[in-house]
A and B are shown apart, each in its own frame.
Chain A
Amino acid sequence: MVCFYYFLVSTLRIESRNTLIGHQVTVELKNDLAITGILSSVDQFLNIKLDDIRVVDDTKYPHMMAVKNCFIRGSVVRYVQLPASAVDTALLQDAARREAQTPTTAAAHTMNR
């Protein structure tokens, strides 16, 4: 069951993310705002929920001072800085290689559409 769920929705983005729930990350947005917080959830669009947030440059963005948690639409994210210790790079590489072989992605990349 869990396996099937993984097969359906687990592109590497979700797989890699789920292990990071509860860790502190820094999300840098396309408007240069960077927010540090505890990762609380991620969905398939890479929408992100953060708890206990802190804006990295809070003198530049003082209006964020009172905000304790937030929801970030995935499309506005530029980067997510992760704690290296929480990332299993071998697992990630396996996941990436596996995803590269799935017929769905392969089919989407053929020229004959």
Chain B
Amino acid sequence: MTEETHTAPVEPAAVEEPLDLVRLSLDERIYVKLRGDRELRGKLHAYDGHLNMVLSEVEETITVVEINEETYEEVIRTQKKTSEMLFVRGDGVILVSPPVRTG
């Protein structure tokens, strides 16, 4: 079984449409940027056209920027959470990046 799409004959480039990038990341650890300053790192097991996803061994990083009331300095606080298996609703997704292949 090869991974060939049933669309019009195009050059055999692996990425013909943006979602191919996500398909090629199945079973790999990916990085997901979500609305609300949330980031996820986890292994991708499933996705659909809405970018609903199922990830495992997930590390969630939540970034909160607080302004110190006296000094008016920005304090960036990050909070980490983990979950063994997570379904992510696609409407919150901003960006998906496959594991770093180079450098």
Does a CB–CB distance below 8 Å link A and B in the complex? yes
User: Which chain A residues in 66-103 approach chain B with CB under 8 Å?
Assistant: 74-75, 77-84, 87, 89, 92-93, 95-97, 99-101, 103
- Chain B 43-66, CB-CB to A under 8 Å as 1, else 0, gives 001111100101010000000000
Interface size bucket, B side? Answer: 20 to 34
Whether the pair A84, B89 counts as a contact (CB closer than 8 A) is no
Complex Cα gap A95–B47 (Å): 9
Whether the pair B84, A84 counts as a contact (CB closer than 8 A) is yes
- Chain A 11-34, CB-CB to B under 8 Å as 1, else 0, gives 111001000000000000010000
Complex Cα gap A100–B26 (Å): 11
Whether the pair B89, A108 counts as a contact (CB closer than 8 A) is no
- CB closest residue in chain A, given B8: A110
B17 at the interface (CB under 8 A from A): yes
Interface size bucket, A side? Answer: 20 to 34
- By a CB distance below 8 angstroms, the chain A residues around B91 are 75
B98 at the interface (CB under 8 A from A): no
A7: min CB distance to chain B, Å: 15
Which of B18, B23, B27, B85 is the one whose CB lies under 8 Å from A81?
Answer: B85
A-B contact pairs, 26 of them (CB 8 A): A12-B46, A13-B48, A75-B91, A79-B89, A81-B84, A81-B85, A84-B85, A87-B45, A87-B54, A87-B56, A89-B45, A92-B46, A93-B26, A93-B27, A97-B3, A97-B23, A99-B48, A100-B5, A100-B20, A101-B6, A105-B19, A105-B49, A106-B5, A106-B7, A108-B49, A110-B7
